[in-house]
């Protein structure tokens, strides 16, 4: 018999959990901080899942996202990181 070490799923979740978005709800400017894994791109989608905008970043850990041009609603912000992970967060625009 030969035993092999199994890979544990979800080891990258800690870096995604450290990402914070504030203030939420917001009037227009959203601050995004990702201290453990730099952000490479951000996609903003409306409630129906339609893509509103996509922005590419150069491995930044702090970003100010301007959503002043959007109407008052709930939006989803999909963040992609340098390690290839992504997370979607909800943002409320007043």
What is the model's pTM?
Answer: 0.83
Digits of tens for pLDDT over the chain (94 positions)? Answer: 676 666 665 555 578 889 999 999 999 999 999 999 999 999 999 999 999 999 999 999 999 999 999 999 999 999 999 999 999 999 999 9
**Rounded distance between C-alpha atoms, residue 72 and residue 86, angstroms:** 25
Contacts of residue 3, defined as CB under 8 A and 6 or more positions apart, other chains included, come to none
Please report which helix (H) or strand (E) contains residue 35, including its range: none
Alpha-carbon gap, residue 18 to 33, rounded angstroms: 8
Contact between residue 32 and residue 16 where contact means Cβ atoms under 8 Å apart: no
| DSSP code for 67 | -
């Amino acid at each position: 018999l030969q035993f092999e070490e199994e890979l544990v799923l979800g080891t990258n979740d800690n870096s995604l959990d450290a990402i914070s978005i504030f203030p939420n709800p917001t009037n227009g400017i959203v601050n995004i901080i990702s201290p453990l894994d730099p952000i490479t791109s951000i996609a903003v989608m409306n409630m129906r899942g339609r893509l509103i905008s996509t922005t590419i970043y150069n491995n930044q850990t702090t970003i100010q996202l301007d959503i002043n041009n959007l109407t008052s609603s709930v939006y989803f912000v999909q963040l992609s990181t340098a390690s290839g992970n992504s997370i979607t967060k909800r943002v409320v625009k007043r």
